[in-house]
A and B are shown apart, each in its own frame.
Chain A
């Protein structure tokens, strides 16, 4: 049933030091089985896969959900939040740490990371399941006022060093805040994400674990052309899953989706009924069915 909470805590958890940072890993299944690395989206964390990771392990894989740097229990971002290439390297080195090429399951920004890593390091990635992570819409960005954008970016960076993080009285309040943004996210899931995505603040209350530097990004010429050139480098099979329902952060037109997938040599697209952006949370059974068929499990 849509959004049902059927979660299994990780079998194991560890911290690994690589690429000058520390990454938290959440693991399910036999470490001797082929690895599947699960990559969350921006502001999320590895425990968002507590629903499907144990099921992927049951298909015969070693499922490893990572907290990306700047998220969850992993190391911080440092300078600005625009560390796309550092995340690429973290994931490539993580696959090296796991000892053999991996399948990648990525959601949202994590889906984009999975595709980037597959394009840059084809020998490390056996397949990708990209859950509503084909990249942002760039419509209208060509007319951007650079002066205004850079001024805002500088002000945002200054605010990070002068403003304390936003605190919440309770984790339940954080979950409610999350649901105001992600209106389709089931209440219990919002609470689960808040419980594992927050920490007590020494001055009282709770703060999100995600690094506030995620807010500031960095100015650069990233657009449709760069994204599609990255996609043309991908050689492994790709399964793209998107939800049928309008939702926050699901803003690509069908034409854009088709264009981006056409650049990949072996991509297949499935629209999952009854889901928005969080396809694997809203319709875990359908996602697992598609994934199992895709990997031949």
Chain B
């Protein structure tokens, strides 16, 4: 994979926590959308353009699975040296899933999930049916079968088939002991009455912040404030 570092702020304070930001699938601004957060983060930070976005071409073969963003993040952490000690990882949507996998594998010191608690729960039967829906939709899209001439890659407009099976997701989250901040906007795919329970599945300290903003683009300042406030509380030893 060739990954453009996107927004990157080397190290204003070498002893501070590093931050990795993973953007949403199909984001036109890609990593650059998160430059304001990087500018105010007290440590080194990076928000790569994930494959198929901004300055990062699709992977060889031009296909994606949700976990590809995790693998791209691994490469960026290795290249920037921000993986040791593990950084705080903020993920938005698809990037949230990638961030969760990093945390599950012990590669994140803390998680910030922006609209990242997942879509409606699906049964195993619904997983199979959604895969078929996705396959048929993509087969009909000639742009999805051609190498993309622009970013974000048109294939990504089809998103991914749902993998939000309750038992599997809950078991994964039980394996994550890192602190978790969940920031939810009005655009979140997670049903509002389920957000608390979904967050409670994580094994470590957690906090839920619900914003009234219609979408992440309108809420960047609020997300930054929530994230930095949470970080300050964490450093001060306050309960998260």
CA distance A79 to B74 in the complex (A): 12
How many interface residues does B have (CB within 8 Å)?
51
User: Which of A20, A79, A226 is in CB contact (< 8 Å) with B71?
Assistant: A79
Interface size range on A against B: 35 or more
- B174 interfacial contact with A, CB 8 Å: yes
- B59 interfacial contact with A, CB 8 Å: yes
| Nearest-Cβ distance from residue A139 to partner chain B, whole angstroms | 16
User: Which of A77, A86, A161 is in CB contact (< 8 Å) with B75?
Assistant: A161
Contact present for B124 and A221 (CB under 8 Å):
yes
- Cβ contacts under 8 Å, A218 to chain B: 65-67
- A78 interfacial contact with B, CB 8 Å: yes
With both beta carbons as reference points, the residue of chain B lying nearest to A88 in the complex is identified as: B135
| Nearest-Cβ distance from residue A79 to partner chain B, whole angstroms | 4
- Cβ contacts under 8 Å, B139 to chain A: 89, 92-93, 121
User: Which of B64, B161, B165 is in CB contact (< 8 Å) with A79?
Assistant: B64
Contact present for B128 and A80 (CB under 8 Å):
no
Instruction: Determine chain B's interface SS by DSSP, over half rule.
Output: helix
Contact present for A80 and B127 (CB under 8 Å):
no
| Nearest-Cβ distance from residue B158 to partner chain A, whole angstroms | 11
Contact present for A151 and B106 (CB under 8 Å):
yes
Contact present for B106 and A147 (CB under 8 Å):
yes
Q: A146-B175, A147-B175 are in contact. Are A154 and B127 (CB under 8 A)?
A: no
| Nearest-Cβ distance from residue A72 to partner chain B, whole angstroms | 14
Contact present for B135 and A79 (CB under 8 Å):
no
Could you list some 21 contacts between A and B, CB below 8 A? A19-B145, A20-B62, A20-B63, A77-B61, A78-B59, A78-B60, A79-B67, A80-B67, A86-B61, A86-B63, A92-B139, A93-B139, A93-B145, A120-B136, A218-B65, A220-B163, A225-B124, A225-B125, A227-B128, A229-B125, A233-B128
